[in-house]
């Protein structure tokens, strides 16, 4: 009898210890990460980021849990990158252009190179970083980049030519500020989140941005015209990066999941930008806004006016010992490659 009780007690203890060990292992196996996204939760790219996180969770069988903080609620847009470096958030999505001067080589991506759409801009950005391997990104793990379709001019008064743009205050960011200035406008640096109110209150009379902002940020409600200047279409490159220590702490199989999903999301993000541009155009038209097509002569003038932006970038970067000329050439070749592939 005593032998039976002893045997039962030992078995119970073994089972209990196994259960405790199993539960502890399960808890330890789950990694919870924070993801700061500057877009509002309803924006196409915020949704794409959320779906990316869900796919990571799915493919890791719940070993990774990602908590999303949209609309800059964890870190403001211009502090998002530093927030990742310092560990305020584990993952972040924002714009390189919000910290102008910190990413000198990457600024080449935002030049007025005539990007035809968001998919091409996104593919170019990711290939460019792989080929150039800029040291300025060494503090983080780059998961993927994405970039919007051609930045166009949206105004409260019609702009058919450069003369009508002269002296007009235009919201811009990063290198797009130089585009505005070269076209004769007055650049006013401002993040997207502040643009609606600035237009509404007359702080600025226009904005240089992709079509998607007309719906994604509701800016079609406070502008009346879009000047189609696709020939000088610039983009703004956005990052999805991860804290280096958090990345290094992940098991190799989990890192592979992140890499695989991120690679797939390059195309997802590119398509989301193009779909959002279509929706922005539709939303703006429904409100009665007009699109102005530049004349052939005016198109040539605008193109000539921004040439010095590219030349200035090359001169500035080369003076700092950076391969600015090579960067511009690489981007030109990649735009041609992917524009041809996507026709």
pLDDT tens readout for residues 222-273: 999 999 999 999 999 999 999 999 999 999 999 999 999 999 999 999 999 9
Could you report the per-residue pLDDT of 221-233, keeping only the tens digit for each?
999 999 999 999 9
Which residue in 65, 73, 63, 78 sits closest to 32, CA to CA? 65
SS3 116: coil
Which residue in 67, 50, 237, 235 sits closest to 144, CA to CA? 237
**Hey, how many other C-beta atoms are within 10 angstroms of the C-beta on 86?**
12
76-84 average pLDDT score: 96
CB 155 within 8 A of CB 225: yes
Instruction: List, in order of start, the domains of the chain with CATH numbers.
Output: 31-149+236-277 (3.40.190.170), 152-235+283-341 (3.40.190.170)
Which residue in 194, 168, 199 sits closest to 181, CA to CA? 168
Residue 342's pLDDT is what?
62
**Hey, how many other C-beta atoms are within 10 angstroms of the C-beta on 165?**
22
Residue 296's pLDDT is what?
97
In this predicted structure, the answer to whether residue 200 has a pLDDT above a threshold of 60 is yes
CB 209 within 8 A of CB 180: no
In this predicted structure, the answer to whether residue 66 has a pLDDT above a threshold of 50 is yes
pTM: 0.88
SS3 106: helix
Distance from C-alpha of 125 to C-alpha of 43, rounded to nearest angstrom: 21
Could you report the per-residue pLDDT of 135-151, keeping only the tens digit for each?
999 999 999 999 999 99
Which CA distances in Å does 25 have to 12, 18, 56, 60, 199? 20, 10, 20, 15, 54
182-207 average pLDDT score: 96
In this predicted structure, the answer to whether residue 161 has a pLDDT above a threshold of 60 is yes
pLDDT band at residue 29 under the 50/70/90 scheme: low
Scan for tokens 């910290």, then name that residue. 99
């Amino acid at each position: 009898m005593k032998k039976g009780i002893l045997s039962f007690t030992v078995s119970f203890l073994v089972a209990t210890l196994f259960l405790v060990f199993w539960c502890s292992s399960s808890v330890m196996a789950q990694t919870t990460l924070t993801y700061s996204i500057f877009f509002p939760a309803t924006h196409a790219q915020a949704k794409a980021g959320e779906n990316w996180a869900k796919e990571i969770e799915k493919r890791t069988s719940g070993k990774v849990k990602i908590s999303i903080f949209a609309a800059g609620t964890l870190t403001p847009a211009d502090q998002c990158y530093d927030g990742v470096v310092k560990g305020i958030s584990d993952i972040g999505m924002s714009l390189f252009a919000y910290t102008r001067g910190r990413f000198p080589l990457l600024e080449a991506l935002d030049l007025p190179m005539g990007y035809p759409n968001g998919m091409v801009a996104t593919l170019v950005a990711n290939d460019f970083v792989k080929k150039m391997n800029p040291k300025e990104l060494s503090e983080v793990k780059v998961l993927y980049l994405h970039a919007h379709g051609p930045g166009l001019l949206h105004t409260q008064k019609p702009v058919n030519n450069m003369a009508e743009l002269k002296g007009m205050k235009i919201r811009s960011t990063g290198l797009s500020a130089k585009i505005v200035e070269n076209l004769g406008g007055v650049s006013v640096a401002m993040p997207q989140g502040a643009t609606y109110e600035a237009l509404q209150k007359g702080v600025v009379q226009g904005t240089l941005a992709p079509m998607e902002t007309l719906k994604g940020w509701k800016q079609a409600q406070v502008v009346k015209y879009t000047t189609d200047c696709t020939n000088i279409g610039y983009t703004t490159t956005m990052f999805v990066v991860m804290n280096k220590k958090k990345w290094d702490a992940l098991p190799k199989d989990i890192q592979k999941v992140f890499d695989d999903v991120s690679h797939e999301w390059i195309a997802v993000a590119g398509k989301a930008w193009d779909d959002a541009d279509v929706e922005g155009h539709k939303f703006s038209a429904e409100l009665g806004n007009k699109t102005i097509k530049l004349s052939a002569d005016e198109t040539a003038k605008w193109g000539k006016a921004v040439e010095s932006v590219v030349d200035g970038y090359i001169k500035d970067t080369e003076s700092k010992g950076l391969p600015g000329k090579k960067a511009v050439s690489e981007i030109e070749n990649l735009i041609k490659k992917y524009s041809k592939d996507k026709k």
